[in-house]
Structure 1
């Protein structure tokens, strides 16, 4: 199983190279919920603090200013400790992401 990678306080040039400021954003209130990552996701944390525990793995803590890579095909439990606001980028094309989700839903 691939691991969650947290880059604490990445450089401005790294964020610019990735185009983070053009990525969509997502927000979540303080909560606990399960999540499945069909594809790799990279997130830049604008605000908040979270602990994510991969199924069968150790908890990973991250927060404001961190760049986090979540591997594809990972099930995890999220704990949003402080309200979350993040930029995020999903791997692959829009059509590819839809196809993966449909395939998984139909268990093909």
Structure 2
């Protein structure tokens, strides 16, 4: 099984090389919900604290200042403990992203 990779407090140089400030942002209130990652996502948390529970029951904690990589196909249960605000980048382009989501719907 693929795992979540958490890089705590990455350097400003590393974030600049990735172009994090140009990535879109997303916010989520305190909540619990299931999620499937159709493609790899890399996220940089500007605010918040979260726990991701994998299908096997393992948990991964991450929060403000962390750079987190979620592999394609990963299924988790999000627990947003403190309101989340993040930059994120998805693998692929808009066309491949739509295609992956359609495949997920078909597979059910």
After TM superposition, what 4+ stretches of structure 1 lie above 3 angstroms from structure 2? none
**1:72 is matched with which residue?**
72
Task: Note the alpha carbon deviations across 1:1-27, whole angstroms, 9 max, x for none.
Answer: 111000000000000000000000000
Q: 1:107 Cα deviation (Å)?
A: 2.5
**1:95 is matched with which residue?**
95
SS at match of 1:17: helix
SS at match of 1:7: strand
Structure 2, unpaired ranges of 5+:
none
Structure 1, unpaired ranges of 5+:
none
Q: 1:57 Cα deviation (Å)?
A: 4.2
RMSD of equivalent CA atoms: 1.1
User: Within 2, Cα distance between the matches of 1:106 and 1:73?
Assistant: 14
May I ask how many residue pairs the two structures share in their alignment?
108
**1:104 is matched with which residue?**
104
User: Within 1, Cα distance between the matches of 2:57 and 2:14?
Assistant: 28
User: Within 2, Cα distance between the matches of 1:107 and 1:32?
Assistant: 24
**1:12 is matched with which residue?**
12
Q: 1:75 Cα deviation (Å)?
A: 0.6
> How does the TM-score come out when normalised to structure 1?
0.96
Q: 1:42 Cα deviation (Å)?
A: 0.2
**1:43 is matched with which residue?**
43
